Homo-oligomer: A and B are copies of this chain.
Amino acid sequence: MQPIFCDGRFVASAATEGFTAINPATGEPLPETYPVSPRAELGTLAAAGKRAAVALRGIEPARLGEFLERCATEIEGSADAIAACAARETGLALRPRLREVEMARTLHQLRQAAASARDRSWATPVVDAANNLRADSCALGGAVLVIGPSNFPLAFNGVCGGDFASAIAAGNPVIAKAHPGHPGTTRLLMECVERALQKCPALPRAMVQMFYQCTPQDGLWLVGQREVAAVGFTGSRASGLKIKEAADRAGKPAYVEMSSVNPVFVLPAGLETKSAKVAEDFAASVLLAAGQMCTSPGLVIVQASPAAETLVADVAARLRAATPGVLLGAGGPTQLEGAVATLCGAGARVVVGGKRVAGAGCRFENTLLRATGEQFLAAPDALQTEAFGSAALFVVARDGDEMLAIAEALHGSLTGSVYSDDRGDDEELYRRLAPILCERVGRLLNDKMPTGVTVSPAMNHGGPFPATGHPGFTGVGFPAAIRRFSKLICFDHVRPGRMCQTHSSWSDPRSLS
């Protein structure tokens, strides 16, 4: 049984139950056994996390930045082994996806968060000298529980992923829960963090802790513990809603990224002039990582026309020709089977695919479904069921007004894309559509598919419910993502000599401007 990382070291778990991961490409179990931590063990992690939060009071921001940089350096030194393990556990391509793209992004995020931690750009202080008021932000005073998803074993891992970097940059300790799909990858990342911690003696031992699994009830119990100040979660809607409810009840912030169909509207003139480009872009986007991107395009809305039929036929041919990708785990095909059944039950019909691929690996046929606008408007909830994989629903609307009605019926999504022609023939419809989408999505794209989330201060990887739990926060991009794990504090007539004790940056004239 693999050890957990508790209060500064790898220690044997008290678990009586364990689990193994599988290689989803072959369906075969991997050799290591990982513990399902019992409740008391979670309590131990929480208590140590709280002690770490206390020890972090007044920490110099530079120490946090240094730690995040050291994490990046250590990971860089073990990049080959980490990426190889992730490929084995997730079925994602080793190159370029894991070893080049996701690894580079992970290191970039850690270093950007380190820079923000150092300059405290996330804290946005405001000074009202006349009234002797100073607003600033500070750490939450407890541990942040980070629960990473299956689909980004590096960049969103509970250890060293985006939420981890954000929580640390704001001065919080982290309790990471590994995703059970890639426990070995998480263990390797934790070993990097252990080495980084050894080089940062100013930080508390329980700065980062890690466990692999627990029962759902024990996980919700941990969310409710006073020592846990906030939660970062990326994963399924079913789990996200339960975690959000537990955190809401306890009155603490939970940043849950849950699900998104990422609608793509192809406006009529754009459909006439760009059909081939749309088909190519769409197929590349929906096939990327076997469709298991948070921003994979799952819903395409077009207006009925010969060009629409050409597009559907073109996309169908591309999906049929592509080899189904390996899904992240055994749950993938089952989830897709259920989603296709729900969509078909609400009136959609399968154009291509729709079935599990026989054999031991975790695969599902590349799938295209279609429905009419009328059908969509009659069952808008069911027809927005997320099919997490290379599967999408094309909705063929009667006219522009029906496309707008469909937009008004959309739930919150991470993204919304609009393809339109370049001569201006779609502008009137665009002008009516864009504001509807702005209310419903976190990111509005023109002539582009939504996969590809640049780590930029101007990014918003977020969106209205049920994409996330709050429309005002982004999970990607610094310094904004860091703000999620901080609280506001106003210093009212606090004596000048005392400001530096709690907020060292106040002595830095840049933050007083």
Measuring CB to CB, which residues of chain A are less than 8 angstroms from any residue of chain B? Answer: 57-58, 126-128, 131, 133-135, 137-142, 244-245, 248-253, 412, 415, 430-431, 434-436, 438-448, 454, 456-460, 462, 464-466, 469-474, 477, 480, 483-484, 486-495, 498, 501-502
Which listed residue (B137, B412, B442) contacts A490, Cβ 8 A?
B442
Residues of B within 8 A of A472 (CB): 137, 253, 483-484, 486-488
Shortest distance in angstroms between A418's beta carbon and chain B's nearest beta carbon?
9
The CA of A128 and the CA of B133, in the complex, are separated in Å by 32
Residue ID in chain B nearest A253 by CB atoms:
B470
Find out whether the CB atom of B133 lies under 8 angstroms from the CB atom of A454. Answer: yes
Find out whether the CB atom of B135 lies under 8 angstroms from the CB atom of A491. Answer: no
Find out whether the CB atom of A131 lies under 8 angstroms from the CB atom of B456. Answer: yes
Find out whether the CB atom of B474 lies under 8 angstroms from the CB atom of A443. Answer: no
Shortest distance in angstroms between A233's beta carbon and chain B's nearest beta carbon?
14
Find out whether the CB atom of A434 lies under 8 angstroms from the CB atom of B498. Answer: yes
Residues of B within 8 A of A440 (CB): 141
The CA of A440 and the CA of B458, in the complex, are separated in Å by 31
User: How many copies of this kind of chain does the complex include?
Assistant: 2
Residues of B within 8 A of A445 (CB): 492-494
The CA of A442 and the CA of B474, in the complex, are separated in Å by 23
Shortest distance in angstroms between A325's beta carbon and chain B's nearest beta carbon?
25
For A131, A248, A470, A488, which residue has the most chain B Cβ atoms within 10 angstroms?
A488
Find out whether the CB atom of A458 lies under 8 angstroms from the CB atom of B128. Answer: yes
Residues of B within 8 A of A138 (CB): 438-439
Residue ID in chain B nearest A434 by CB atoms:
B502
In the assembled complex, 12 residue pairs joining A and B whose CB atoms fall closer than 8 Å, in A order, are A126-B457, A139-B439, A141-B464, A251-B465, A434-B502, A441-B489, A443-B492, A444-B489, A444-B494, A446-B498, A448-B492, A474-B488
Residues of B within 8 A of A465 (CB): 250-252
The CA of A137 and the CA of B439, in the complex, are separated in Å by 10
Residues of B within 8 A of A250 (CB): 465
Find out whether the CB atom of A141 lies under 8 angstroms from the CB atom of B439. Answer: yes
